[in-house]
Structure 1
Amino acid sequence: MSLMRIDNVSFGYGPGRRVLEDVSLEIAPGDTIGLVGESGSGKTTLLRLLLGLARPDSGRITFEGTPLDPRDRAFMRRFRRQAQVVFQDPYSSLDPRQKIFSIIAEPLRSLRVEGDHARLVGETLEAVGLDASAAGRYPHQFSGGQRQRIAIARAIVAGPRLLLADEAVSALDLTTRIRIVELLERLSRRMSLLFVSHDVGVVAALCRRIVILEKGRIAEAGETAAVLANPRHPYTQRLLASVPRLTTKEASS
């Protein structure tokens, strides 16, 4: 069974403002998928639908075969534990008034996860490459890359099966970006990953499958290596010609 399915989904913000048109996508357990497109292609809107923050005008979204219904509070609580998100800006996504422990432990409290929260937070900090002692500090005491690691720790502390990353490295400098991509690659070995980006190069370094979104429609999809080696759609060809690539060789240099 697929982990999450999007079947023929369309969505608009009003008459004449159609953003997504007949989009279908399947996320299987262990998948790493890059959702690529320029600004205005519908990436963020699709992510909102996947998080249950909006409902499609037509089509269906399911998680483990159950329809994603934002009105079903019991289902959404279970879903939130299984699917978490990391946002683009590591500076605005963390509450500056709270210590790191409270920030990372928040999903444990809101999702009613039992267990030793202090131990879970410490282990999760170490899993993202930070010392457990960071829990006693505030966001302003960390660099942008470290803050993004903290945001990732908050997303994975409850043990989700699906991680949604929304332009999670685009606000970082190149060196930090490479390190966060390496971290996400390690995490993707134990959970599914949908990586939303405008950068084909980062997706090439991280994701086994790629979906190209153009003006709310899927222009091309398939194995990342195959699509990038032989892009068939003119839009994909233009993206490859215009976006700098982050290759494995560059990442290791």
Structure 2
Amino acid sequence: MTLISVEAIAFSYGRKPVLHDVSFTVKKGINLGLVGESGSGKSTILKLLLGLERPASGAIRFQGETLNLRDREFMRRYRRSVQAVFQDPYSSLDPRQTVEAIIAEPLRALKISGDHHAAIVQALADVGLPADAISRYPHEFSGGQRQRIALARAIVARPQLVLADEAVSALDLSTRIRIVELLKELSQAITILLVSHDLGVVAALCEEIIILEKGRIVEAGRTADILANPQHPYTRKLLASVPRMPA
């Protein structure tokens, strides 16, 4: 089942082209890694998938329906199904709010009914945090724990897809490994699109991979196949230069 299809999209910032005829699909149950160096277009694709920008041409579809920012009912369904986790666990959480208020944000914004407290406690359990974390504040937690809180916020509405934007790059190596293991566990129920510059992290989590260079897809397919036998010089360059996580 295809969750998202990106069809021949192009995008420019002013007169500067950023994406050129980019097409790919995100399939339910198959984690996808989007890899490239700074300036490759990864962040722009993420903005388009989040509805923060519109493509200059081409289309983005969710379960066959075109992403229409003007259709409020569709966008509410889309945002319930597609949530995001960002790079910096220190800046992505409001320090003035308790963990309960932070995790409840999607439930409030999407007007999801039901027992919010129970949903938040379950989300905390899903990311390996105790129920008593609910009344504490972000500054009381380590970087890895804060990223777990951010993940709990992303999954509390039970989305189908989580967009993870460099979700482990701000963490130290041992914490990064633990968060990647957590993402693996979560991906048994939720599909993950991981935006990263680190091939090692992608190899540990994603079954499929897309390599972006200067706004173009230069290689795509099964992660194991591409990393074992990269065809494009840019992919070989990334393999040679990017530090990999230990097995």
d(CA) in 1 for partners of 2:24 and 2:179?
Answer: 26
* Percent pairwise identity: 65
d(CA) in 1 for partners of 2:35 and 2:77?
Answer: 28
Amino acid aligned to 1:189: Q
Q: Give the conservation status (yes or no) of the 8 Å contact 1:99–1:137.
A: yes
1:6 aligns with 2:3: no
Q: Give the conservation status (yes or no) of the 8 Å contact 1:50–1:61.
A: yes
Gaps of 5+ in 1: 249-253
Partner of 1:78: 77
Amino acid aligned to 2:234: Y
Partner of 1:135: 134
Partner of 1:251: none
Shift of 1:247: 3.9
Partner of 2:185: 186
With the length of structure 1 as denominator, give the TM-score of the two structures: 0.96
Partner of 2:56: 57
Q: Give 3-state SS (helix, strand or coil) of 2:171's partner.
A: coil
d(CA) in 2 for partners of 1:5 and 1:52?
Answer: 14
With the length of structure 2 as denominator, give the TM-score of the two structures: 0.99
1:54-106 deviation line (CA, Å, top 9, x unaligned): 11000010001000011211111110000000000000000000000000011
1:1-253 paired onto structure 2 within 5 Å: 1-15=1-15, 17-248=16-247
Q: Give 3-state SS (helix, strand or coil) of 1:121's partner.
A: helix
Amino acid aligned to 2:223: T
Provide the aligned length of Structure 1 versus Structure 2: 247
Amino acid aligned to 1:39: S
- Structure 1 consecutive aligned stretches of length 4 or more whose deviation exceeds 3 Å: none
d(CA) in 2 for partners of 1:109 and 1:224?
Answer: 37
Shift of 1:14: 1.1
Question: What is the CA RMSD across the aligned residues, in angstroms?
Answer: 0.7
d(CA) in 2 for partners of 1:193 and 1:86?
Answer: 10
Q: Give 3-state SS (helix, strand or coil) of 1:3's partner.
A: strand
1:196-244 deviation line (CA, Å, top 9, x unaligned): 0000011011100010000000010010000000000000000000011
Q: Bigger CA drift: 218-227 or 107-116?
A: 107-116
Shift of 1:175: 0.5
Shift of 1:191: 1.3
Gaps of 5+ in 2: none
Shift of 1:245: 1.4
Q: Give 3-state SS (helix, strand or coil) of 1:145's partner.
A: helix
Q: Give the conservation status (yes or no) of the 8 Å contact 1:166–1:196.
A: yes
Shift of 1:117: 0.6
d(CA) in 2 for partners of 1:117 and 1:156?
Answer: 13
Shift of 1:192: 1.1
d(CA) in 2 for partners of 1:64 and 1:34?
Answer: 20
d(CA) in 2 for partners of 1:149 and 1:55?
Answer: 30
